[in-house]
Amino acid sequence: MAEQLQHLIDRIRQEGVENGEKTAEALIADAKKKAAAIVAEAQKKAQEATAKAEADAKAFAERGRQTLQQAARDLLISIGGSVGRVVSGVVDAKVGAALTPETVGQMLVKLAASYGSAENLTVALGEADAAALKGGVSKEVNDMLAKGLQIESDREIFKGFRLGTKGGQVFHDFTKEAIAESLANFLRPDLADVVKKAAKE
């Protein structure tokens, strides 16, 4: 009987140990599973945070690049405009200085020749230049006046002239402003190219 009792005690002890080991193993497995889930969640959050930080940094860098490009573009436009105004001012001054009554007289002679005759032509000039031409700046201009070239003074014209047919059906603008504008328009694309090339260097 004692032997059976001992056997029963040993069996209960063995089952208790086995049950305890199984419970411990289950608890350890569950703890490992929970720990793995916690680590996986932490890694996922870390990856998401890293990806967000990288995306934010890239977006910030792109915004900075775009802002810098826009600032550079604005600067180049401003410089181009300033250079254009300087060139226009220089062209305007040089054209104004070049349009002396003698030069205007030579231009009129050549233009009258292209019209075939001076008799149907009228020329409008500033008051001082009109007086100088009427006073006879050259023999050719005097000949044109004798053939019927009509000279008028125009207070709105400071330098240069407007040439047209009598009756005003056709006229050509050779005023300082018109010539300077034409030259400036011709030069502006080249100035734009110079600024663009400077920007690339």
| Residue 152 belongs to some domain of the structure | yes
| Residue 73 belongs to some domain of the structure | yes
Residue 187 pLDDT class (50, 70, 90 cuts): low
Q: Tell me what percent of the residues of the chain surpass a pLDDT of 90.
A: 0
The arithmetic mean of pLDDT across residues 75-79, rounded, is: 62
pLDDT at 201: 55
Give the DSSP letter string of the chain: -HHHHHHHHHHHHHHHHHHHHHHHHHHHHHHHHHHHHHHHHHHHHHHHHHHHHHHHHHHHHHHHHHHHHHHHHHHHHHHHHHHHHHHHHHHHHHHHHH--HHHHHHHHHHHHHHHS-STTEEEEE-HHHHHHHHT-S-HHHHHHHHTT-EEEE-TT-SSEEEEEETTSSSEEEEEHHHHHHHHHHHHHHHHHHHHHHHHH-
| Residue 128 belongs to some domain of the structure | yes
pLDDT at 8: 67
DSSP-assigned beta bridge partners for residue 162: 124, 173
Please indicate whether residue 110 or residue 17 has the higher confidence score (pLDDT): 110
pTM: 0.48
The arithmetic mean of pLDDT across residues 35-55, rounded, is: 79
91 and 184 fall within a common domain: yes
How many domains does the chain contain in total? 2
124 and 157 fall within a common domain: yes
124 and 154 fall within a common domain: yes
| Residue 131 belongs to some domain of the structure | yes
The arithmetic mean of pLDDT across residues 154-183, rounded, is: 80
pLDDT at 188: 66
126 and 157 fall within a common domain: yes
pLDDT at 128: 86
158 and 135 fall within a common domain: yes
| Residue 3 belongs to some domain of the structure | no
| Residue 175 belongs to some domain of the structure | no
Domain with 136 in it = 100-169
